[in-house]
Amino acid sequence: MSNKVPRKIPRQIFASLLILFFCSTFITPDSCARDVPANSLYVRAGSPETVIASDFAGQFVRQGKKCYQQGDIQGAIDSFARALLLDRSNKTARESMILISARSSLPAAQRIQLFLSEDLLVFNEKLGKRLIFFTAQRDALATSLIQQNYPQTLINQKFQAIRDRSLSPAENRGAGVSSASTLEALNRSLITEKERLSRELSCVREQLAWLRPIGSSRRVPPGLREEPQKPDTQVSRPQKVNDPGEAWQQIAGVREELSELRKQVEILQQDVKHKDDKITALTKQVVEFSLKLTEREMILSEKVNALGSLHDAYAELQSRQELGQKILEEKNVQIQSLQEGLAALQADTALHTKEINGLIAAKDQALDQWEKILAIYQGKLKDAARTIDARNEDISALQEQLAMVRTKLFEKETALEKTKEKLVSLEKQFQSVVSDPK
């Protein structure tokens, strides 16, 4: 029995080290590409460095294309992300990122980051356009009030107070960016820009809301007010005409208006169908991300089980070591060698345990990030549902107007038939008078 124990202990040591190697290999995150510092140059539009930033962005785009042709997908993503950090309007970089996101071999985490980048870019463009529109309305209304001798100092003070209240200092989100990838740095920059644009848009809206009551009390021209324009689909009431040609012209006009209404209804139906298709695609993406998240959770549970087996092996090793100490009390040299091997194994086990704990913490952070991304997509789905409800209301209103137009058209046709009957009776009377002059 004393001869078998020293052979089993090295086997257990080898098995423990092998399990540690596999755990450290498979628990490592998918994005094992080289670290890229994210403190890249960011130039705002309109600054003197815009031309230089565009040149640098073009260089990064060319470098990304070269990496993509060579099969270095991670290098291509980093180069295109840096180009977008420098120039958000670079269409080549955006199209290349969309092309890369369609690859099936791309890890789920990177695909989510790419989808998030494209959504943030589109959303920020829409926010910028809305901000320009409301700012122009606000400036036009303020200029009109100033021309009507309204104190400009009061307007400036109120604007500044609203701006100080709305545009609170943003939090410092740059902490820890140097350790993140370039794509994550791009997403953080886009999120920061989205929050800034949202705050500025709310500020401009509040200023415009403050100006409107003043403008209405001072009879500001209606062109400066933001009033929803009613669709020019109402049909004027038919006037009494004695000429049948004019009646036919009115009927033709009503028919043309009816055809225009039908075209508008068809356009609205196509828009609703497009929104439904987009919602279906987003739902499929959310389901796919949920499945991939479940797979990651299963892999993590398997690694935790492997870690438990490692602890069991270590406990078995300790029991065998104690058994060896009881059996080999007289052999001091062998006991001393076993103790040294055990100490080395304990040190290696403690080191690998710390690494595994760090990797598990990283996985927990990744899971939290995926949950946030899922929350973002759920919010987008809710917005899409609200848009569809609004479209349905518009369609119902158009249908009601169409019914009114049909009713009026029927009334006109009835009046026209009566007019024809009167004309026929008058012609008969005229012929009777002509034939019998007495």
Higher pLDDT, 392 or 336: 392
Contacts with 194 (C-beta within 8 Å, 6 or more apart), sequence order: 120, 123, 124, 127
What average pLDDT score do residues 210-219 get? Answer: 71
Both tokens of 51, joined, read 């031309």
Instruction: Provide the percentage of residues in the chain whose pLDDT is more than 90.
Output: 7
Average pLDDT value for the chain? 76
Q: How many CB atoms lie under 10 A from the CB of residue 137?
A: 19
Higher pLDDT, 398 or 312: 398
| Rounded Cα gap, residues 274 and 289, in angstroms | 23
Q: Please check whether residue 9 is in contact with residue 314, taking contact to mean a CB–CB distance below 8 angstroms.
A: no
* 275: pLDDT strictly greater than 90: no
Residue 117 has a pLDDT of 84
Residue 1 has a pLDDT of 41
Residue 217 has a pLDDT of 61
Residue 220 has a pLDDT of 39
The residue whose two tokens read 């989510």 is 112
Contacts with 281 (C-beta within 8 Å, 6 or more apart), sequence order: none
pLDDT in tens, 5-26: 444 445 555 555 544 444 444 3
The 3-state secondary structure of the chain, one letter per residue: CCCCHHHHHHHHHHHHHHHHHHHHHHCCCCCCCCCCCCCCCCCCCCCCCHHHHHHHHHHHHHHHHHHHHCCCHHHHHHHHHHHHHHCCCCHHHHHHHHHHHCCCCCCHHHHHHHHHHHHHHHHHHHHHHHHHHHHHHHHHHHHHHHHCCCCHHHHHHHHHHHHHHHCCCCCCCCCCCCCCCHHHHHHHHHHHHHHHHHHHHHHHHHHHHHHHHHHHHCCCCHHHCCCCCCCCCCCCCCCCCCCHHHHHHHHHHHHHHHHHHHHHHHHHHHHHHHHHHHHHHHHHHHHHHHHHHHHHHHHHHHHHHHHHHHHHHHHHHHHHHHHHHHHCCCCHHHHHHHHHHHHHHHHHHHHHHHHHHHHHHHHHHHHHHHHHHHHHHHHHHHHHHHHHHHHHHHHHHHHHHHHHHHHHHHHHHHHHHHHHHHHHHHHHHHHHHHHCCC
What average pLDDT score do residues 378-383 get? Answer: 88
* 433: pLDDT strictly greater than 50: yes
pLDDT in tens, 278-323: 877 877 777 677 667 767 777 887 788 888 888 888 888 888 878 8
What average pLDDT score do residues 359-371 get? Answer: 89
Both tokens of 306, joined, read 């492997």
- Dihedral of CA atoms 366, 368, 374, 380 in degrees, nearest 10, equals -110
Contacts with 310 (C-beta within 8 Å, 6 or more apart), sequence order: 16, 19, 20, 23, 349
pTM exceeding 0.75: no
* 210: pLDDT strictly greater than 80: yes
* 222: pLDDT strictly greater than 50: no
* 58: pLDDT strictly greater than 50: yes
